Amino acid sequence: MAKGFYISKNMGLAGLLMGAVAVVIIIALAAVYDKEKTKNQNKPVDGVATASPTTSSTFSTPKDPWEHYRLPDSLSPVSYNITLWPRLVVNASTGLYIFTGQSAVVFQCKKDTDLIVIHCNKLNLTLLNGHHARLTGLDGATAPTVKTSWLQVKTEYLVIQLNGKLTAGKSYRLSTDFQGELADDLKGFYRSEYTEDG
């Protein structure tokens, strides 16, 4: 008598059931994969939506440079000169400890631009000729005048729009005067105190 391979009826049914479940899972995963692939093809890249060939094209308005959390690459800092003057007694008019300061940032223009975006957080900038900063050209460069300036609170930037363009390869200096709170929250420029031997 020939030898053969036999399985019980219950084992056969269990195998068929497991096979059917596997096919259903594979089909479901393929559907989810296709849906995600289509969604990612239409996802905006740098503010511009791309479309798959089977869908209609939709474009979103690009964000302004001051809405991005990374600085534009049009300017490159060369040096910073910062003077800080902390007041270690409470300011009578505000009831706060304050500091005042000045900064001068020298930067080189890498790409022609009419926009300066620089980090600035929790500072009260003194207006210089009606604007938050003063711009001067270095080494024979002529600096355009400031058109408008404002603080972009969400991204913590000082934004300066110019009436003309900065020239690639030229160097400029951006100067500011400011006041800030000398708080005790261990953030930024802060004050700290301790008592020793009473």
Q: Are residues 93 and 164 in the same domain?
A: yes
Three-state DSSP class for 136? Answer: strand
Q: Which residue has the higher pLDDT, 50 or 74?
A: 74
Residue-number span of the structural domain to which 28 is assigned: 9-49
CATH of the domain at 158: 2.60.40.1730
The structural domain count of the chain equals 2
User: What's the whole-model pTM score?
Assistant: 0.64
In a domain, 123, yes or no: yes
Query: Quick check: is 59 in a domain?
Result: no
Each residue's pLDDT tens digit, 85-99: 999 999 998 899 999
pLDDT at residue 44, as a whole number = 52
Answer whether residue 43 shows pLDDT above 70.
no
Average pLDDT rounded to a whole number, residues 164-190: 93
The three-point CA angle 81-87-90 to 5° equals 150
One domain for residues 80 and 177: yes
Task: For residue 30, tell me if it sits in a domain.
Answer: yes
52 pLDDT tier (thresholds 50, 70, 90): very low
